[in-house]
A = this chain, B = another copy of it.
Amino acid sequence: MKDYPQLAETLKSKGIKPSLQRLLLLNYMHGCNMHPTVERIYEDLAAQGHALSKATVYNTLTLFVQKGLLRVVNLDHNEARYDVLAVDHGHFVCDKCGAIYDEPIDFDKLNLVFPEAASVRQRDLFYRGVCKRCRSKE
């Protein structure tokens, strides 16, 4: 655990009791620059010797999302992916290799208006296509 007191403080500030499992999950997500699936998170933690049950992974991630520590990334209707909420950013998803690239975006500057919206909680932007790595392999 890199920074136990800091992680615990983050949890407490959101009204979440810092159990071992929750600290492990938050620590994992903070040191994680991909957008892992539940399966991936579960396996990585198990490989590190932390065998949380899969139910706990689900429960905890859902809790973190509710409390605003993470966000769900729905790339397809198959597996959900999880993303740490840092700077506002959009995603580019490669159709070939499935890689997900983050790119900072200032949504405020886009100045988009949805007349039906009373309040906006979350903003997502996805571009899809072929990434340069895959293109260069062709």
B-contacting residues of A (Cβ < 8 Å)? 72, 74-80, 90, 92, 94-95, 99, 101, 103, 105, 110, 112-136
Q: How far apart sit A64 and B122, CA to CA, in the bound complex (Å)?
A: 30
Q: How far apart sit A99 and B135, CA to CA, in the bound complex (Å)?
A: 38
A119 contacts which chain B residues (CB < 8 A)?
A: 129-130, 135
Whether A116 lies near B128 (C-beta < 8 A) is no
When all copies of this chain in the complex are counted, the total is: 2
A90 contacts which chain B residues (CB < 8 A)?
A: 112, 114
Whether B110 lies near A130 (C-beta < 8 A) is no
A113 contacts which chain B residues (CB < 8 A)?
A: 103
Cβ contacts A to B, 20 pairs, < 8 Å: A74-B74, A74-B77, A90-B114, A92-B114, A92-B116, A95-B121, A101-B116, A103-B112, A103-B114, A103-B115, A105-B112, A116-B132, A117-B130, A117-B132, A118-B132, A120-B129, A121-B130, A122-B126, A123-B125, A123-B128
A136 contacts which chain B residues (CB < 8 A)?
A: 118
